[in-house]
Structure 1
Amino acid sequence: MLRELHLTGNPAADKLLNDDPFALLTGMLLDQQYPMEHAFSGPQKIADRMDGFDLHKIAATDLDTFVELCVTPPAIHRYGGSMARRVHALAQHIIDNYGGETAGIWTSGRPKPDGLEVLKRLKALPGFGEQKAKIFLALLGKQRGVEPKGWREAAGAYGDRGARRSIADVTDAESLLEVRSFKKAAKAAAKAG
């Protein structure tokens, strides 16, 4: 089921995430040590500064120039420089491995990739580890209608129905607060344990 994304509280930023799989992937890349809605607004900030959001244009831009563009206030992330380098590397990876088609991560190949294969491909992306890959797989399955065989199992607890544990579960302001509450409780439990 394709669900319209409402992740940022900014209609223009959400529209970009809905329309461009690379923008959504970039938002997920930026979602660490930074509030979720700000991370997923990063692609719109880049688009505003580059006259549109285009992974080919990002990859073709000189790295130092791109970093400067991303750290200019308001920066795309708390760690704007290092995250700009990751976004640049991500764009190049998609060009080199998927012919510039981000959706190829979950659609390319015969037979069509299953959930474990998509997870493996996501984990191979610059800046993506196990947890980030599972969350993005859950986001694809729960909100973008991308449901390769076994995706819920591959996404682990992030794929659970009715969960409120990650950006994959954010559909409005209320669910954002529920996810924040879950994360805060999980962090407290980890600290106490």
Structure 2
Amino acid sequence: MPTLTLTGDAPADALLSDNAFALLIGMLLDQQIAMEVAFVGPLRLAERLGGELTPAAVAAADPEQLEALFREKPAIHRYPGSMAKRVHALATHLVEYHDGDAAAVWEDAATGDELYRRVAALPGYGDQKARIFVALLGKQCGVTPDGWREAAGDYGQDGYRSIADVTDPQTLAEVRAYKQARKAAAKAAASDG
């Protein structure tokens, strides 16, 4: 897998690049907080778990202890309780359905639709999150089965729409500006309606 630069934090980016489970956790955490903070979350969790960030280790963790790790300062997420539960559910799913191998979710997907279905089946991954993750895999990780761009929807297009397009501080700023413009347009449309 190529070296990702999603956070601006070298150790966090190295973990995301080397650990498929960390990448899935980062995407899972990417809501209600800044993108780069979400993707630093897996490194914080790994450190608090003593360095072992695997689906088996997290699935075997006591849910209350896992939540306590999420709450340690600095908290891993703005909503540590619900996110600890989601990460635990993700880990359990990977153990039950993918033999604890996070990369198995995408490694042999034959088509973009199959890839999307597998990602969308993960706990905590809705339609939009699954499409963004498919785009991230395709644009930056070399996971490009036939139809992956179509499966990623708008996020598969060129441009700066999501974490899938972040490769450095400049592209992070461009994605953030795009999101802010969309939010402002939606707010304006709501007030006109």
**TM-score, scaled relative to structure 1:** 0.95
Instruction: Name the counterpart of 2:76.
Output: 76
Aligned-partner Cα distance in 2 for 1:99–1:191: 44
Match of 2:110 among 89, 110, 113: 113
Aligned residues between the structures: 188
Is the CA contact (8 Å cut-off) linking 2:7 and 2:36 kept in structure 1?
Answer: yes
Match of 1:170 among 162, 166, 169: 166
3-state DSSP of counterpart to 1:107: coil
- Provide the identity percentage: 55
Question: How far has the Cα of 1:104 moved from its partner?
Answer: 1.2
Aligned-partner Cα distance in 2 for 1:121–1:3: 22
User: For each residue in 1:105-156, what CA deviation from the matched residue of structure 2 results, as whole angstroms up to 9, or x when unmatched?
Assistant: 1124xxx431111111111111110000000000000000011110001101
5+ unaligned residues in a row in structure 1: which ranges? none
Match of 1:146 among 132, 137, 143: 143
The answer to whether structure 1 residue 131 and structure 2 residue 128 are counterparts is yes
**TM-score, scaled relative to structure 2:** 0.95
Instruction: Name the counterpart of 1:10.
Output: 9
Is the CA contact (8 Å cut-off) linking 2:54 and 2:100 kept in structure 1?
Answer: no
Is the CA contact (8 Å cut-off) linking 2:56 and 2:100 kept in structure 1?
Answer: yes
5+ unaligned residues in a row in structure 2: which ranges? none
Is the CA contact (8 Å cut-off) linking 1:106 and 1:113 kept in structure 2?
Answer: no
Aligned-partner Cα distance in 2 for 1:105–1:44: 21
Instruction: Name the counterpart of 1:23.
Output: 22
Aligned-partner Cα distance in 1 for 2:95–2:104: 10
The answer to whether structure 1 residue 180 and structure 2 residue 176 are counterparts is yes
Cα RMSD for the two superposed structures: 1.0
The one-letter code matched in structure 2 to 1:13 is A
Aligned-partner Cα distance in 2 for 1:62–1:4: 32
User: For each residue in 1:69-109, what CA deviation from the matched residue of structure 2 results, as whole angstroms up to 9, or x when unmatched?
Assistant: 1111111100011001100100000110111111111124x
Is the CA contact (8 Å cut-off) linking 1:165 and 1:182 kept in structure 2?
Answer: yes
